[in-house]
Chain A
Amino acid sequence: MATATQQLNGLDLDAMRTLVQTVTKDPAAADRLNDWSARVRWETGFRSKALVRDHTLVVDEPATLVGQDLAPNAAEYVLAAFGACLTTGMALNATKDGIRLRNVEVIVEGRLDNILTFFGMSDRGHPGFKEISVKAYIDADTDDATLKKVWRDTVASSPIGNTLVRNVVVHDEMVRV
């Protein structure tokens, strides 16, 4: 007999349980979830297109940086990725704790250390983000202390947050074709 799918926060609870069982019993399956990739092809000007699984993302620069402003730039994608990682984490952690989320909105702001180093016009500092600020607005059916803990857990377990604050080993290779 078919039963209605149990959902919380738009997530299928049975599917989540199945996922937990799978990664618990099958370390190889869990390990496969560690690997992610993107293929990015330059198109013209400052515009590129990224292929990620079955999805494509356009990357461009604003007109103030001589782009056509057709899409966010790469730095903005980093901020957006961090914000999305936190909203995803909130959905995961709240659902795990049986908390219904009504609304979650995260604002991510970043400041580059020195954009002039990207242009090759300065040796001072670096072109990466020096500081990133996050602000989350959350409406959920739980008490303040619990909500604060879920948020702290979400920040602490964010893959993108950890990528940003930890040293990541980057291997690069160039192939002439």
Chain B
Amino acid sequence: MSEALPLFPVTTVGSWPRPASLIRALKDKNAGELGQAEFEAAADAAVLDILRVQEEAGVDVVTDGEQRRDNFYSFLADKLDGVKLMTMAELIDHALDKAYFHRTLGSLDAPSFVIKSPTVVGTLSAREPLAADATRFLRAHTRKAIKVPLPGPYLLARSIWVKGVSDGAYPSREALAADIVTVLREELGRLAAAGADFVQLDEPVLSNVVSAGRSPSAASCARLSRRPRATWRGSSAGPSSSSTRSSTDRPSAPACTSVAGTGRATRACCSQATTARSAARWTP
């Protein structure tokens, strides 16, 4: 049982920055060099740190900061059968608007092989709970009300179906949407049982549709989950010049969510990723 909420409860929107040790652990896990149990131990420690900060700050509805996730929706590939994490390099051949992909990657200052998007490659079904285990962990360590973010059905139906890749399993986004709703509905029940007080359904692409007037693609969704990573910065006036190295931390997924709680609606906020520019320049 969580604490009663005040008239105007305070919560946070978006994921929290991951400590460097957790980012390292996530990379090692993805590379197969760290076991799931070791990763979860690192994530547990990060979640407890974040929980302490929220409680000390007087936050009424706490989250786990999405510490266990690579980004706000790509983690689904670990949880769902029929979903594969594919790089933009793998997807670009299927893009209807390759020039848009190229522009998007340019604005991200990122290569196509590091941006990954969950993509439907088979029939959807939950291999394991999406967030119920993480919620139980949080519930065991706080009496505060808990909020759990999940990628929303519109985001998923629009972004994880790719023509030429997904249509073998689902002929259309609409057909996929029915199974997405089933998966999310089942997870909502699990989250309630695990002690969640609120579930936040993230729908960042709605703002893309409304503001930019275009259908969201896997590239645009991946863009929302992308922040700068460590980069080289060099310049040269010819083959023999020197270059220097600089780096930026790779922050976590952006605060880019719309919130639908239990009878309470909170406005979305969306912080666009900024990019660090680096270039090697040749001048004849």
* Interface residues of A, Cβ cutoff 8 Å to B: 103, 105, 107, 131-137, 139, 144, 148, 152, 155-158, 161-162, 164-165
Contact = CB atoms under 8 A, between A and B. Distances in A.
15 contacts: A103-B111, A103-B113, A103-B114, A105-B112, A131-B281, A132-B282, A133-B279, A134-B279, A137-B110, A144-B245, A148-B245, A155-B239, A157-B239, A158-B239, A165-B239
A155 B242 CA distance: 12
B283 A131 contact: yes
Main secondary structure of the interface of B (DSSP, over half): loop
Interface string B100-117: 000000100011111000
A103 B114 CA distance: 9
B240 A134 contact: no
Interface string B110-134: 1111100000000000000000000
B111 A148 contact: no
A105 B110 CA distance: 9
Contacts of B239: 152, 155-158, 161-162, 165
A155 B241 CA distance: 10
B238 interface: yes
Interface string B260-284: 0000000000000000001111111
Contact of B281 (A105, A133, A164): A133
Contact size range, B? 20 to 34
Contact of A105 (B111, B234, B236): B111
Contacts of B113: 103, 105, 137, 139
Given A103-B113, A137-B110, A155 B236 contact: yes
A152 B243 contact: yes
B245 A134 contact: no
A167 B284 CA distance: 10
Contacts of A148: 232, 234, 243, 245
Contact of A164 (B89, B110, B114, B282): B282
